[in-house]
Amino acid sequence: GAVVSQHPSRVICKSGTSVKIECRSLDFQATTMFWYRQFPKKSLMLMATSNEGSKATYEQGVEKDKFLINHASLTLSTLTVTSAHPEDSSFYICSAQDQETQYFGPGTRLLVL
Amino acid sequence: AQSVTQLGSHVSVSEGALVLLRCNYSSSVPPYLFWYVQYPNQGLQLLLKYTTGATLVKGINGFEAEFKKSETSFHLTKPSAHMSDAAEYFCAVSEGSSASKIIFGSGTRLSIRP
């Protein structure tokens, strides 16, 4: 089946720094990728839809200047959390669309101290 | 707007017993419906999906779900629970077209008693 990877799997950073998370589709090309955020014991909240070669579409309430998304190729999308704060600590999950199915990455746990 | 309601945030069954996880959806267009499983500190794995056609959908690990339009439901079942089934289960809906965003339910944690 289709495989999606994320890197890093876990990251700890200091408040005020920026963190980049990569999402790759390993064996298929994905024109669309999605970024989700999951709080402890909560469901996934869609943050943005990322289309290759164009600007991401952000969900209501998500700050596009804080969560920068780049989808430069058909197999790679990146999420950069800028000027991270402790409240940004969360589990970030990406997915890549293959025709009608979204395949999810293993997630990245971000801890901001 | 689409939405998903999962009844019961926590379900506990004995090993070997029937598993039933409930999901109701709301959609203004014919929906695509999904069940995902998440193990601790991991991403989501697709169990099964309904797009069109046969309303009884069989998935991996012995799970199946039935799309009932009249009841707007998509309940997940498994005849006999295994200890390895303990996980978080998410029901989800999308509008069906390609690159549609998925709306997730709040999740149901399934526990299996020995």
Handedness of CA B35, B62, B74, B57 (dihedral sign): positive
Mean pLDDT over residues A23-45, rounded? 89
Handedness of CA A92, B92, B22, A3 (dihedral sign): negative
Residues of B in contact with A3 (CB under 8 A): none
Q: Chain B: residue nearest A105 by CA?
A: B43
pLDDT tens digits along A53-95: 888 999 999 999 999 999 888 999 999 999 999 999 999 999 9
Cross-chain CB nearest to A107 (options B43, B49, B98)? B43
B110 contacts B19 by C-beta, under 8 angstroms: yes
Q: What is the pLDDT, as a whole number, of residue B99?
A: 52
pLDDT tens-place string over residues B48-73: 999 888 899 999 999 999 999 999 99
Q: Is A81 helix (H, G, I), strand (E, B) or coil?
A: strand
Query: Measured between CB atoms, which of B51, B90, B107 is closest to A100?
Result: B51
